[in-house]
Amino acid sequence: MADNGQDDGLIMALPKGRILKEVMPLLRGAGIEPEPAFEDPESRQLRFATNHPNLSIIRVRAFDAATFVAFGAAQLGVVGNDVLMEFDYPDIYSPLDLGIGRCRMVVAEPKEVADDDNPERWSHIRVATKYPQITRRHFAGRGVQAECIKLNGAMELAPALGLCRRIVDLVSSGETLKANGLVEVEQIADITSRLAVNRTALKTRSEEINGWVESFREVADAA
Ligand code: PRP
């Protein structure tokens, strides 16, 4: 235990929710076995030991996994490139595409709007999204001013309730768009999760961290 009360083991930040199921085989392939409570969605525990005395895991929201790594509170993490693109943290190095959490970031609108719409003609649009930076950047690139309303989830409700006509969100199966009468009109990016590393930790603890990066690289390459 260091003087500041923090132990000196490495911490890996993992996103909770559905992506965790895809993370588990990678973890195990890299030889990491978390304590049993980690896979119990009912557990209120947030930090978990692993079979490696010098490595523990925290289970946090997807956006927060990036924040913990960016500030060095976790040295490693699994972070979607949606989050990396939105925040563009200079202190995160993300050397490895893990090939999990595969989905797309798209612009969607109600089907009846899309039937009569031409995205080429947009000059100003109002969009509900969790990703205001990516959205503004994407549209600014072709001279469209995007006014973003930040929501943290359930974006698909916004058009029906008159908040805006369009949303920018992640689509995987397309079921959520369909269930809410929305159709995709434009793709912004392909999304997967990446291994994220704090740059300072990479310099000061390069041997340990590079060891883990290589273990994950072997598992991701073999998948
Ligand atoms: C994501 C995304 C969509 C949905 C798309 O939300 O924001 O709402 O999944 O998946 P689909 O195309 O397979 O239907 P998530 O369930 O992760 O929760 P969130 O609304 O809290 O972001």
Chain segment 136-164, per-residue pLDDT in tens:
999 999 999 999 999 999 999 999 999 99
Mutate to test the pocket of ligand 1, among 107, 169, 184 (most ligand atoms within 8 A of CB): 169
pLDDT bucket at 7, cuts 50 / 70 / 90: low
- Give the domain extent around 211: 10-102+192-222
Distance 9 CA to ligand 1 centre (A): 34
Q: How many whole angstroms separate alpha carbon 171 and alpha carbon 108?
A: 10
Q: Is residue 202, in this structure, part of any structural domain at all?
A: yes
Mutate to test the pocket of ligand 1, among 172, 180, 190 (most ligand atoms within 8 A of CB): 172
Distance 63 CA to ligand 1 centre (A): 14
Q: What is the CATH number of the domain that holds 129?
A: 3.40.190.10
Same domain, residue pair 121 and 186: yes
Same domain, residue pair 212 and 155: no
Distance 96 CA to ligand 1 centre (A): 24
Same domain, residue pair 147 and 98: no
Distance 174 CA to ligand 1 centre (A): 9
- Residue whose CA lies nearest to ligand 1 atom number 1: 170
pLDDT digits (tens, 9 = 90+) for 58-93: 999 999 999 999 999 999 999 999 999 999 999 999
Task: Look at residue 4 in the predicted model and tell me its pLDDT.
Answer: 47
- Residue whose CA lies nearest to ligand 1 atom number 5: 171
Task: Look at residue 17 in the predicted model and tell me its pLDDT.
Answer: 87
Task: Look at residue 6 in the predicted model and tell me its pLDDT.
Answer: 58
Task: Look at residue 172 in the predicted model and tell me its pLDDT.
Answer: 96
Tokens of 181: 């009468």
pLDDT digits (tens, 9 = 90+) for 106-132: 999 999 999 999 999 999 999 999 999
Beta strands in the chain (DSSP E): 10-15, 47-49, 55-60, 76-80, 92-97, 103-110, 124-129, 145-150, 166-171, 182-191, 193-198
Structure pTM? 0.93
Distance 156 CA to ligand 1 centre (A): 9
Q: Is residue 27, in this structure, part of any structural domain at all?
A: yes
Q: How many residues does the chain have?
A: 223
Q: How many domains does the chain have?
A: 2
Q: Is residue 23, in this structure, part of any structural domain at all?
A: yes
Tracing tokens 């010098």 back to the chain, one arrives at 54
pLDDT bucket at 39, cuts 50 / 70 / 90: confident
Lowest mean pLDDT across 6-10, 43-47, 101-105, 184-188: 6-10
Ligand 1 pocket residues where CB is under 6 Å: 153-154, 156, 169-176
Is pLDDT at 5 greater than 60 in this prediction?
no
Please list, in sequence order, all residues whose beta carbon lies within 8 angstroms of the beta carbon of residue 2, skipping any fewer than 6 positions away: 8
Q: Mean pLDDT for the chain?
A: 95
pLDDT bucket at 2, cuts 50 / 70 / 90: very low
Is pLDDT at 34 greater than 90 in this prediction?
yes
Distance 201 CA to ligand 1 centre (A): 32
